[in-house]
Structure 1
Amino acid sequence: MSPHHSNPSSGPDGPPSKRPADPGHETDPALVEFAVDLADHEVRRRAHILEALGQDWDPIEVLSGEEAAYDLLYSGLDEEQQRLYENLVKAGVLPERGSGRAAS
């Protein structure tokens, strides 16, 4: 196996002295640019998530359950709570639901 010799003074962008320096930072010719492509890691991460969810995971059922939970959360509000809810919807903090009024 041959030894690896890196030459930090040359790279895909040319010698460091030809690269534009960041304002306020000195250019050190011993430093090299380092980049990592995380695309492969992201694909693996998503595959692990789907594996953990299992094959019986039903996103439509989950969303329906969330909607039912929100309906329950905002049901039976008194006048002041309803006013606050409407103000939060108007301000864009909460999404508008149904007729714009919390569920009774």
Structure 2
Amino acid sequence: MSSQRPAPFEFDVDLSAHEMLRRAHVLDALGPDWDPVAALRGEEEAYELLYSGLDADQQRVHDELVSAGVLPPRGGGHAAP
């Protein structure tokens, strides 16, 4: 019996069509009234509310996390005004 391994076999799968179908389903689930700009504004407002009213120590930790890139900067303008 031979102990030689078979030659490597190249295997490619193109998932482009599946990805387009997945995106179509996502957009369909979001519905015609979905407003991405309003969604981004809402996220920015929620972020501002979440990190408002911090005491000095909490603000220091928040600033360290922003500096380290763990949290995005406040008022970063992620959504259009």
TM over 0.5: yes
Unaligned runs of 5+ in 2: 77-81
| Correspondence 1:31-50 to 2 at 5 A | 32-50=9-27
Aligned identity (percent) is: 60
Displaced runs of 4 or more, over 6 A: none
Task: State how many pairs are aligned.
Answer: 73
Q: Does 1:64 align with 2:41?
A: yes
| TM-score, normalised via structure 2 length | 0.78
CA distance in 2, matches of 1:64, 1:77: 22
The answer to which structure, 1 or 2, has the higher relative contact order (CA under 8 A, 6+ apart) is 2
Q: Which has the larger radius of gyration?
A: 1
Which amino acid is the alignment partner of residue 5 of structure 2?
A: T
CA distance in 2, matches of 1:45, 1:36: 16
Q: RMSD over aligned Cα, in angstroms?
A: 2.0
Instruction: Give the structure with the higher percent helix.
Output: 2
Unaligned runs of 5+ in 1: 1-25, 100-104
| TM-score, normalised via structure 1 length | 0.62
Deviations 1:49-78 (A, max 9, x none): 111111100001111110110010000101
CA distance in 2, matches of 1:76, 1:90: 19
